[in-house]
Amino acid sequence: MKIDRVEVRRLNLPLLHPFETSFGRTTVKSFLLVSARADGVTGYGECVADDDPYYLPETNATVWHVLRDFLIPLVFALDIEHPRELLPAFARVRGHEMAKAALEMAVFELYARRQGAPLSRVLGGTKAEVASGVSIGLQRDSLELLDHVAREVAAGYRRVKIKIKPGADRALVAAVRARFPQLPLMVDANSAYSLADAPIFRELDEERLMMIEQPLAWDDLVDHAVLQKQIRTAVCLDESLRSVEDARRALDLGSCRIVNIKAGRVGGLAASVALHDLCGGRGVPVWCGGMLESGIGRLANVHLQTLPGFTLPGDTAASARYFAEDLVEPPVTVSREGTIAVPTAPGIGHEIVWPRVERATEHTEEFRKT
């Protein structure tokens, strides 16, 4: 398979509600959509980078640069038998996992379409439906947060994650726990704390949380290992794991007991499968994170979660929570039982609605193999 055309476009998709975390507030989802063509078939990959480097260092601008100057020329030089060959081919480029993942996802999606197979089958997944959880951003106060939690519980989500930050942590968790004693509940700090805050996490130990996601620095494994030894609640790492090797080191050190897998963060779908396999071999549960993706990236997350090690509900929620109109039809929906049906059509398995993509596109650049 020889890729002969790649297109990168920048899209702006307004969010229905602003999403706030300890690192910032997002009102419009601005992202790059990559397409890759071989023998007249095109596949699509959504990039998880934002305009700012507040979650991780990459931005839409660095992704564009690395795709244009390094990864796209590299892909044009390959004859690809299977998309799993891209991750090792990209290894000379250090870091830039989000850029690698977007182009790799496009080639995986193209490969699945050529095979007439859903992406899940190409990844080795077998589930017909996946369990859905929801991530609720920081709210004005705990009353507003309780309203949101009540709505999501009523909608059927299997697990609720709330964002925390210094000054908005123990009281929020206590309020949610008091109102929902049996709710599978977790928190995500997006690296807002340091080891000096260990007493806060020891207090949270009383709230029967499923896990505490990324409490400490985005590039740390050592302090997380220290914290994990001081608390009973499982630490889950997100930002700190940007490769399979990062995760191997984290598990060796005892930095976490649960792993969040985002293909965009770890360098792609093949890296996600390898990370899933590593964790499975060590008895570590994994779940699939989210990055407020449009339906294209969202569906890729659905397919990834069909692998057997994804035993905990992911952050993949219904399209309607994020966008007035998603880029795919049908949109991603969640049943009353909190499940998402895995598409069976080729590739991501839902139609991309091109007039909507065009309307959301700010800029496009086309690359051709010469």
For position 326 contacting ligand OSB by CB under 6 A, the verdict is no
Q: Does residue 188 belong to the site contacting Mg ion (CB under 5 A)?
A: yes
Q: Is 315 a residue that touches ligand OSB (CB under 6 A)?
A: yes
Contact 11, 353 (CB under 8 A): no
For ligand OSB, which residue of 46, 58, 152, 188 counts as binding (CB under 6 A)?
188
Name the residue type at position 257: R
Q: Give the count of beta carbons closer than 10 Å to the beta carbon of residue 231.
A: 17
- Residue (of 136, 131, 132) closest to 150 by Cα position: 136
Assess whether 163 carries a catalytic annotation: yes
d(CA 125, CA 273): 10
- Closer of 73 and 184 to Mg ion (Cβ): 184
Please count the residues of this chain forming the interface with ligand OSB, following the rule CB under 6 A.
Answer: 11
Are the C-beta atoms of 233 and 212 separated by less than 8 Å? yes
The listed partner (Mg ion, ligand OSB, none) that binds 317, CB under 5 to 8 Å by sort, is: ligand OSB
130 binds ligand OSB, rule: CB under 6 A? no
Residues 237-266 that bind Mg ion (CB under 5 A): 238
Residue 46 binds: one of ligand OSB, Mg ion, none (C-beta under 5 to 8 A by kind): none
Quick check: 246 binds ligand OSB (CB under 6 A)? no
CB burial string 267-279: b at 16+ within 10 A, e below: bbbbbbbbbbebb
In angstroms, rounded to a whole number, what is the distance separating the alpha carbons of residues 340 and 350? 13
- Token readout for 107 is 């080639």
Contact flag: residue 104 with ligand OSB (CB under 6 A): no
Work out which of 118, 264, 290, 346 binds ligand OSB, going by CB under 6 A. Answer: 290
The rounded distance, in Å, linking the Cα atoms of 293 and 301 is: 9
- Smallest separation (angstroms) from Mg ion to the CB of 236: 8
Residue ranges that bind ligand OSB, judged by CB under 6 A: 55, 135, 188, 190, 238, 289-292, 315, 317
